[in-house]
Structure 1
Amino acid sequence: MGLWTLLLQLHLVFGVSLTPPSDVSISSFNMEHTLNFLPGPGTPSDTHFTVQIVNDRKNLWRPVVGCLELTAGQMCNLTRVFTDPYTRYKARVQAFTTTQTSSWTESAVLGPLDVSVSGCGNCLILQLKPPATKGLQCNLQLENLYKAVILHVRRTRDGAQFRLNLPYSEEKVIMYLQPGVEYCVSISVTALFNSNHVASKPHCAFTSHPPSRSSLYLLVGLLGFFCILGFLITGLVVNGGQRSFTILRQHLSTSLSYTSTS
């Protein structure tokens, strides 16, 4: 009995760490921002949860009033504390009881976008789609979370590369590229509530190929043929007109001579 008493006392004094919350994510719908989470496996029924937020300007975690003692299944409304639409925010959740606490779990990292790339002459067309994210409400329009897309473009032939930072939209066009050349594009995003992001794998495509040498020869040949044909038709028209004028003049001369004789 002495051993069990000692273990119980150690448990009460130091506390065995609780399993941290899981699936911590921030959803946005109709300008309402909500934090969702799930209790970790084996979390006791008397456990409560507290929420803190931070933004990339102050970089100081602060508690969210109204979300200091949540129970399992409750959500935290962050609309009033996400006051600056041009600042990225993160949130974290901690489980606690009267004798135990868990480590903090931060809001989920944004996964890579689904990307498709196709050539369009001297440009590339990118179709972007938000990743399927479990744990968020089914009516969440995830694209509302994104502020911008960061495009890392690399030319396969020589490794030349550049970077573009553009407002988020489902279609992007990268202009002024070399035709017939392969480019690889890797994409990451920045968001209102989370500065964490995972870049997509490189997606490669050729800009539209320039005409082949045989096609150029054929095109030049066709142009030459039509030019010659045009000259011939013009010549025939001009020559035919001159012959018609000569015949008409001869006919008029004959008619005038016959009239004078009569």
Structure 2
Amino acid sequence: MNGAEWLLVLLLLHPPPADCRLSLPQPSNVSITSYNMEHTLSFKPDPRTPPDTHFTVQILSSRRKPWKPVPTCSWLVAGQTCNLNTAFKDPSDHYRARVQAKAVNHTSRWTVSDQFQPLTDTVLGPPNVSVSGCGNCLVLQVRVPTAGTLKHDPHLKDMYWQLILHVHRTRDDARFRLQLPYKEESRITYLQPGVEYCVTVSVTSFFTHKSVSSKPQCAFTSSPAAQSSVCVVLGLLCAFSLLALLLLVVALYGSQLSITLLGRHLPRPKLCKCSS
């Protein structure tokens, strides 16, 4: 037998794999992260991956099968991520994603991510917080943060359920923790007047306790001197108002009295009798 015949015999005895196109190394570290309901898939190409390789992404829903391609992530290059906000239509559903490397006439095996649920796996970022003094209390204002690609995610505000407050009194380093229901404006009461307090806020929901705290926001409660000054000003205003009212009553009564006395002292006109 010549060489060609021997090669034919070897191919008959040891046929090649059914899919001989699976020759590219598959990507690794396929993971989904979520921050303020912004869902991002990332992956790591194999070091042996050729430079002309691109990557495609598919997702699988636990309620809708089979795997479906993500149109915006069908031609990724190494180092790119995939935004899955529009792909994950139901935030309460469970999803998986997979990535495949592709080149001319070659593909890799799929690499599958762990299971992901948007509502429970997202991390709630720090809210926008401001504080101001109000006597022996602080007024706390909390706003939903603006998301990255979505100006206001429709599900994000609905997830805010409870505020976790860490309050720090700077004068003596005293600290305490509060839990309040979520409102855009709340009051932290029973504080010392004229003292600086710093407040750090994080939020939780019914679905997740994964959150990032805001930066400390500090403000002074109103000082006792300021409160007494306000009381003095209000007292003076009340006194001036009463005095003005008294003067007005006296003026009206005095005018009426003057008219009466004047009428008594003026000579009355004499009536003359005319004879016919």
TM-score when normalising by structure 1: 0.54
1:20 CA displacement: 0.5
Give the equivalent residue in structure 1 for 2:186.
174
1:155–1:188: structure 2 CA closer, same or farther, 3 Å change rule? closer
Supply the distance in 2 between the matched residues of 1:246 and 1:42 (Cα, whole angstroms).
113
| Structure whose CA Rg is larger | 2
Task: Establish whether residue 199 from structure 1 lines up as the match of residue 203 from structure 2.
Answer: no
User: Out of 144, 151, 167, which is 2:163 matched to?
Assistant: 151
Give the equivalent residue in structure 1 for 2:141.
126
- Secondary structure at the counterpart of residue 164 of structure 1: strand
Give the equivalent residue in structure 2 for 1:233.
248
Supply the distance in 2 between the matched residues of 1:27 and 1:223 (Cα, whole angstroms).
52
Q: Deviations over 1:107-146 (max 9, x none)?
A: 663432333344578662524242544xxxx357435234
Give the equivalent residue in structure 2 for 1:245.
260
- Number of aligned residue pairs: give it: 217
User: Out of 178, 181, 187, which is 1:165 matched to?
Assistant: 181
User: Out of 29, 37, 41, which is 1:37 matched to?
Assistant: 41
User: Out of 21, 42, 66, which is 2:30 matched to?
Assistant: 21
1:182 CA displacement: 5.6
Supply the distance in 1 between the matched residues of 2:43 and 2:72 (Cα, whole angstroms).
6
Q: Aligned Cα RMSD in Å?
A: 5.1
Corresponding letter in the other structure for 2:43: P
Percentage identity across aligned positions? 22
Supply the distance in 1 between the matched residues of 2:43 and 2:188 (Cα, whole angstroms).
51
State how 1:89-100 maps to structure 2 within 5 Å. 93=97
Supply the distance in 2 between the matched residues of 1:240 and 1:70 (Cα, whole angstroms).
91
1:50–1:100: structure 2 CA closer, same or farther, 3 Å change rule? closer
Contact 2:128–2:144 (Cα < 8 Å) also in 1: yes
State how 1:36-55 maps to structure 2 within 5 Å. 36-42=40-46, 44=49
1:174 CA displacement: 0.7
User: Out of 204, 216, 237, which is 2:231 matched to?
Assistant: 216
Contact 1:149–1:188 (Cα < 8 Å) also in 2: no
1:230 CA displacement: 2.6
TM-score when normalising by structure 2: 0.52
1:92–1:195: structure 2 CA closer, same or farther, 3 Å change rule? farther
Task: Establish whether residue 109 from structure 1 lines up as the match of residue 109 from structure 2.
Answer: no
1:19–1:225: structure 2 CA closer, same or farther, 3 Å change rule? same
Q: Deviations over 1:51-75 (max 9, x none)?
A: 678xxxxxxxx79743499899357
Supply the distance in 2 between the matched residues of 1:73 and 1:173 (Cα, whole angstroms).
41
Q: Deviations over 1:60-105 (max 9, x none)?
A: xx7974349989935774446845xxxxx6x565668978968859
Contact 2:164–2:201 (Cα < 8 Å) also in 1: yes
Supply the distance in 2 between the matched residues of 1:25 and 1:225 (Cα, whole angstroms).
63
Contact 2:168–2:198 (Cα < 8 Å) also in 1: yes
Contact 2:56–2:73 (Cα < 8 Å) also in 1: no
- Name stretches of at least 5 consecutive residues in structure 2 with no aligned partner: 1-24, 75-81, 102-107
- Secondary structure at the counterpart of residue 163 of structure 1: strand
Supply the distance in 2 between the matched residues of 1:37 and 1:73 (Cα, whole angstroms).
10
Supply the distance in 2 between the matched residues of 1:109 and 1:23 (Cα, whole angstroms).
12
